[in-house]
């Protein structure tokens, strides 16, 4: 059960990157639309993401719900120490969605519609960066909360070279993914070539930011760096990811856009899986606590509130007290340590959507 829940969380994160990430990338290309087909480029972006952009956020909501339900200490630490980038990311998601809807349904296109278009595009640019910054900060192990206050302050954990590099990598990945997807969506050959060139340019940006992130990880995120270099799965995963990257470029050069979409999705998926695998079985490295341990402690408490006492008593008697997963000491389990400024906000967002 613990591995299953952790796997579902990772799968939801991968799906959000593949689907929601492409939406954000579409907004980036809306902002950077240029040339004689500027209007057509923006129309294609709107047509491609219009039917699905709301549904794609379900995967993010699933990640958040599983996080605060199964890993409350980690959730509290993230939303406390990183509440600035997380809050800005949430605001960006809200403004992006509102701007997209207002732009589409404004009865009088003009200055107001252009304003909403600009808000949509800028939010699409900033949200991936903030998402990557949050992920990069977690990987550094500096998201530490003690007695309800972040040990490294509210700024230092995320305003550093490695988290910002991960933010840039996330933006480049989403832009690449969107451009490749749009080559499939476009019907006009010239418009398809516009996004083919953008996809190739974005792949170069992905390679540069990935190399920068890898170099910075050695000193800033040693757990991730060790996982990506010393683990038995490291080289096979990197070979598969590199194959997807090169295959995507070859498919774009050869104008085999359907195949390019498969390679692009594979590249992004394997990068997310690699980030998670490099930290396994730790969710936040400074806790020194396996995600399995957190789940083993959380799930029985949830079950006690759900199942009849007779069943729980029998399950408790059958459970071995000598299990090593039950004797690992949590760094912080005090009541104050699991509170965060965004806990209620996330609960409200989840309840509204579900």
Q: What is the pLDDT along the chain (354 residues), one digit of tens a residue?
A: 556 777 888 899 999 999 889 999 999 999 998 888 988 999 899 888 876 767 788 888 888 888 888 778 888 888 899 999 999 999 999 999 889 888 877 767 677 878 888 899 899 999 999 999 999 998 888 888 888 888 888 998 899 999 999 999 999 999 999 999 999 999 899 999 999 999 999 999 999 999 999 999 988 888 888 888 888 888 888 999 999 999 999 999 999 999 999 999 999 999 999 888 887 776 554 443 444 444 445 445 544 543 444 333 433 334 433 333 322 222 333 333 444 444 443 343 333 333
Quick check: 34 and 187 in contact, CB under 8 A?
Answer: no
DSSP code of residue 9: H
Give the pLDDT of residue 353.
35
Nearest to 74 by CA among 127, 26, 137: 137
pLDDT at 141: 84
pLDDT at 318: 43
CB 124 within 8 A of CB 99: no
Cβ within 8 Å of residue 75, ≥6 positions away: 67, 68, 338, 340, 343, 346
Residues in the chain: 354
| Separation between Cα atoms, residue 33 and residue 30, nearest integer Å | 5
Peptide bond connecting 281 to the previous residue in cis, omega within 30 degrees of 0: yes
- Nearest residue to 75 via CA among 271, 314, 295: 295
Please give the pLDDT value at position 320.
38
Torsion of the alpha carbons at 13, 249, 211 and 225, rounded to the nearest 10: 50
- d(Cα 212, Cα 342) in Å, to the nearest integer? 31
What does the DSSP assignment read for 320-337?
-TT-GGGSPPPS---GGG
Name the β-bridge partners of 149. Answer: 146
For 67-84, letters b (16+ CB in 10 Å) and e give bbebbbbbbbbbbbbbbe
Residue 69 CA to residue 5 CA, distance in Å, equals: 11
pLDDT of residue 309: 43
Angle, alpha carbons 228-229-235 (nearest 5°): 80
Angle at 208 between CA 206 and CA 214, to 5 degrees: 95
3-state SS class at 160: coil
User: Which segments within the chain are labelled E, that is strand?
Assistant: 145-146, 149-150
* Per-residue model confidence (pLDDT) at position 297: 52
Burial of 4 from C-beta contacts in 10 A (0-12 / 13-18 / 19+): exposed
Burial class (CB in 10 A: 0-12, 13-18, 19+), 193: middle
Find the helix or strand (DSSP H, E) in which 145 lies.
strand 145-146
**Could you tell me the end-to-end alpha-carbon distance of the chain, in angstroms, rounded to an integer?**
23
Token output for 312: 């729980």
Note the pLDDT of residue 1: 58
pLDDT for the residue 221: 87
Q: What is the pLDDT of residue 335?
A: 39
Q: Which pLDDT score, from 0 to 100, does residue 283 have?
A: 56
Name the 3-class secondary structure at 110: coil
Cβ atoms of 143 and 279 within 8 Å: the answer is no
d(CA 51, CA 328): 47
Judged by DSSP in three states, 116 sits in helix
């Amino acid at each position: 059960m613990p591995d299953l829940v952790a796997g579902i969380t990772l799968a939801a994160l991968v799906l959000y990157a593949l689907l929601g990430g492409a939406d954000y990338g579409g907004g980036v290309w809306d902002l950077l639309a240029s040339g004689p087909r500027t209007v057509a480029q923006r129309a294609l972006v709107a047509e491609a993401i219009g039917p699905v952009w709301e549904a794609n956020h379900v995967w993010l909501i699933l990640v958040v719900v599983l996080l605060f339900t199964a890993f409350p200490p980690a959730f509290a630490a993230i939303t406390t120490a990183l509440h600035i980038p997380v809050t800005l990311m949430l605001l960006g998601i809200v403004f992006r969605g509102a701007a997209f809807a207002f732009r589409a349904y404004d009865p009088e296109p003009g200055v107001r519609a252009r304003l909403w278009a600009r808000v949509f595009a800028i939010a699409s640019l900033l949200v991936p960066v903030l998402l990557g910054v949050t992920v990069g900060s977690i990987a550094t192990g500096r998201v530490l909360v003690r007695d309800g206050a972040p040990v490294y302050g509210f700024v230092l954990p995320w305003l550093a070279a490695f988290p910002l590099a991960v933010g840039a990598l996330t933006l480049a990945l989403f832009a690449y993914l969107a451009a490749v997807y749009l080559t499939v969506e476009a019907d006009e050959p010239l418009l398809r070539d516009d996004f083919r060139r953008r996809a190739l340019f974005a792949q170069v940006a992905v390679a540069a930011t990935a190399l920068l992130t890898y170099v910075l990880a050695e000193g800033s995120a040693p757990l991730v760096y060790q996982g990506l270099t010393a683990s038995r799965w490291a080289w096979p995963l990197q070979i598969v990811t590199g194959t997807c990257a090169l295959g995507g470029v070859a498919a774009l050069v050869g104008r085999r856009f359907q195949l390019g979409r498969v390679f692009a999705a594979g590249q992004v998926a394997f990068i997310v899986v690699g980030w998670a695998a490099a930290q396994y079985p730790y969710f936040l490295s400074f806790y020194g606590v396996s995600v399995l341990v957190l789940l083993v402690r959380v799930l029985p408490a949830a079950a006690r509130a759900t199942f009849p006492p007779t069943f729980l008593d029998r399950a408790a008697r059958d459970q071995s007290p000598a299990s090593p997963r039950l004797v690992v000491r949590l760094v912080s389990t005090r009541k104050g340590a699991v509170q965060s400024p965004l806990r209620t906000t996330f609960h409200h967002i989840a309840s509204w959507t579900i």
